[in-house]
Amino acid sequence: MKVKNQIIADEFGPQHVLEVNSSSPRFRGLLVIDNLALGVGKGGIRLAAGLTPFELFRLARTMTWKNSLFELPFGGAKAGILVDPKKISPKEKKAIIQAFAKLLAPFVPKYYIAGPDIGTGEQEMKWFSQALGIWKSSTGKPKDFCLCVEGECSCGLPHELGSTGFGVAQATQVAMGLRRQNLVGAKVAVAGFGNVGTFAARHLAELGAKIVAVADVDGTVFDKEGLSVEKLLELKEKRQSLTAYPGAQILPLEKIYELPVDVLIPAAVSDVINRKNYQRVKARIIVEGANIPIPEEIEEKLWQKGILIVPDFVANGGGVISSFAEYRGRSPQAMFRIVGEKIRRATQAVLRRSLKSGRNPREVALVLAKERVRRAMKS
């Protein structure tokens, strides 16, 4: 009998589950390498006090499918450090990241390449690379952090450029088109206004969508006539709560999942739409900007209600596609072109097959991803 929230190995993995402990600086770290059939394990480093091996396994497995679906030469992996990033100083954070890198040295970069995730960004990826003296040990590094060989330079492509949010916007446009809905004037709610949510909102607004609601930890900001993304970004830059937006209606955070919108983009943490609230979801389309924002059994229930869902490992693949572009030494302009092409192609393939067959999009996407991994495992 399967034990809930325990890693159960299957034909795909995980191949390695590693726990490391450091006494100075003091922390516990985890690395899950799920599958290496397609290439070196790729996945970000998450900083959170309550991380569990099972949660990291779920995230690593998602990376396996994501890398496969976008035909990237990477396997799936995920790393985590069990600390609260809000409770450590920048100096302590640097020491922890670099100590973690050295503890993972036997696996990096042969079996694992790091990347940004919750609690880490371009600076942390630079520290990670510097600790090992290996430029390709991480991706998502600062754009001015370069490796030059014989006059040819490869530079970092930080996720702060907005590749993931850009990809979410591209996936949204494809989904709207397949539903024969016009994105121009469409009402969009963005739950989470971090790196993914901000860029998704910005690019969707540029495409003509109306951003009617956004949410951060303090609550939901709602205006049925539309919010100014630029004003929201100004509040964020000033480190003010989005609830300070002038003239908007302020609702509890969880209400953003219940608004009557054309598109809902959960772009923060996992399992935000769940057994308790899924029956109140009114959006016609959900585009998953976050990793695992909806349990699979709840996705199926929403699909049965007629809600079209673009799964996380389809919609939010811009970050790992950007990592691939950085790994290959591409420019920011080339990276965005590659992200757009791969996201649109994958979203089209998954949703067209889903709508034609009547099977939910995650099920279809998993079939496509598993086919490629199985072929690689047999070769």
* 326-343 residue pLDDT tens: 999 999 999 999 999 999
Q: What is the DSSP letter of 273?
A: S
Residue 321 confidence (pLDDT) = 96
Question: Over 50: is that where the pLDDT of 346 sits?
Answer: yes
Quick one: what percent of the chain has pLDDT higher than 70?
A: 99
Q: Are 309 and 288 in contact (CB under 8 A)?
A: yes
Burial 24-49 (b: 16+ CB within 10 A, else e): ebebebbbbbbbbbbbbbbbbbbbbe
Cβ atoms < 10 Å from Cβ of 52: 15
* 88-137 residue pLDDT tens: 999 999 999 999 999 999 999 999 999 998 899 999 999 999 999 999 99
* 139-189 residue pLDDT tens: 999 999 999 988 888 999 998 899 999 999 999 999 999 999 999 999 999
Going by pLDDT thresholds of 50, 70 and 90, the confidence category of residue 1 is: very low
Q: What is the DSSP string of 130-197?
A: HHHT-GGGBSS--TT-EEEETTEEEE---GGG-HHHHHHHHHHHHHHHHTT--STT-EEEEE--SHHH
Residue 6 confidence (pLDDT) = 87
* 229-242 residue pLDDT tens: 999 999 999 999 99
Residue 333 confidence (pLDDT) = 95
SS3 content of the chain, % helix, strand, coil (to 5): 45, 20, 35
* 276-297 residue pLDDT tens: 999 999 999 999 999 889 999 9
Question: Over 80: is that where the pLDDT of 2 sits?
Answer: no
The CA distance from 326 to 332, in Å, is 9
For 300, residues 6+ apart whose C-beta sits below 8 A from its C-beta are: 360
Q: Which of 9-13, 228-232, 268-272, 357-361 has the lowest mean pLDDT?
A: 268-272
Question: Over 90: is that where the pLDDT of 269 sits?
Answer: no
Going by pLDDT thresholds of 50, 70 and 90, the confidence category of residue 4 is: low
Residue 122 confidence (pLDDT) = 95
Residue 149 confidence (pLDDT) = 86
Active site residues: 78
Question: Over 50: is that where the pLDDT of 45 sits?
Answer: yes
Question: Over 60: is that where the pLDDT of 3 sits?
Answer: no
The mean pLDDT value for 44-49 works out to: 95
**How much is the pTM?**
0.89
The mean pLDDT value for 205-226 works out to: 96
Q: Which domains does the chain carry?
A: 16-156 (3.40.50.10860), 163-318+346-367 (3.40.50.720)
Residue 46 confidence (pLDDT) = 95
Q: Are 28 and 20 in contact (CB under 8 A)?
A: yes
